[in-house]
Each structure stands twice: as structure tokens, then as C-alpha cells.
Amino acid sequence: MGTGSGLGSPKAMKPGLLLRTWACIAFSVLSCGFVAAYSHIRFIAFKYCDDRSVLIGICELLVKFNGYSLVVPFIAAVWAVYYSKSERVLLGLGYGNLLFSAIWLMACILAWELQQIPLVGLDGFK
């Protein structure tokens, strides 16, 4: 059978790769939870404390559809279980979830900060 040094032998996976992938998925879930909580808090603050009556479109989308962002880490978790032997897939899932988390967090914060830009020159602006 050989010593495992041939072309058809399975490679040994790096230790901790599966744990690192699950940590990235967990961070992605936390990121989605933060976006949901932040959007909810900012929406309540806008609704009761802001003089403007119009919410910008991207903030409306964040409020309505931020729960669906949890689909991304869920699909990654299913793939991680199914492809747990493939090092390349696990690396892609881990880094993909980190990228998704960073973009999702920054998009949320940017959208709600854009909502706070003062509107000058509109009727009723004092």
C-alpha cells in the first residue's frame, strides 16, 4: 500500500483549520446580530427623535431585510460540515465569511451615518 507519499494519498489537514473556519462562521453570525441590533436601535432613534420624516432607501432595506443575512453563515456552516475534509473549501469558507462580515458591518454603519447628514436648502430647514 505504501507510506502515503504518492500522488493519490490524502494530504494531512493543517491543525486548527476546521476550528478557524468555525470561528469565522461564528464571527459572521455575531456580525449579522450586531447589524440587526444596531439597525433596530437606530431605527427607533430615527422614528422618535429625528425631525426628518423620510428614511433613506438603504436604511429601509437594512431594517426590513437584515434578518436574511443570517442565511450566509448558515450556508457556510452546512458547507463546512459537508466539505470538512477539503482544506481549500474550508479556507474559502473562512475567508469568505470574514469578508462578508466586514462588508456587512461597514455597509450598515455607512448607511446609518448617511442618514444623519444634514439636508440643507430644503423647505422647512432651520
For the chain, the structural domain boundaries read 17-114
Q: What's the mean pLDDT when you consider all of the chain?
A: 82
Higher local confidence (pLDDT), 77 or 9: 77
Q: Record the pTM.
A: 0.76
Percent of the chain with pLDDT over 90: 30
pLDDT band with cut points at 50, 70 and 90 for residue 17:
confident
Dihedral angle, C-alpha 78, 82, 87, 89, nearest 10 °: -50
Contact in structure between 25 and 97 (CB atoms under 8 Å):
yes
56-114 pLDDT per residue, tens: 888 888 888 888 989 999 998 898 888 888 888 888 888 999 999 999 999 999 999 98
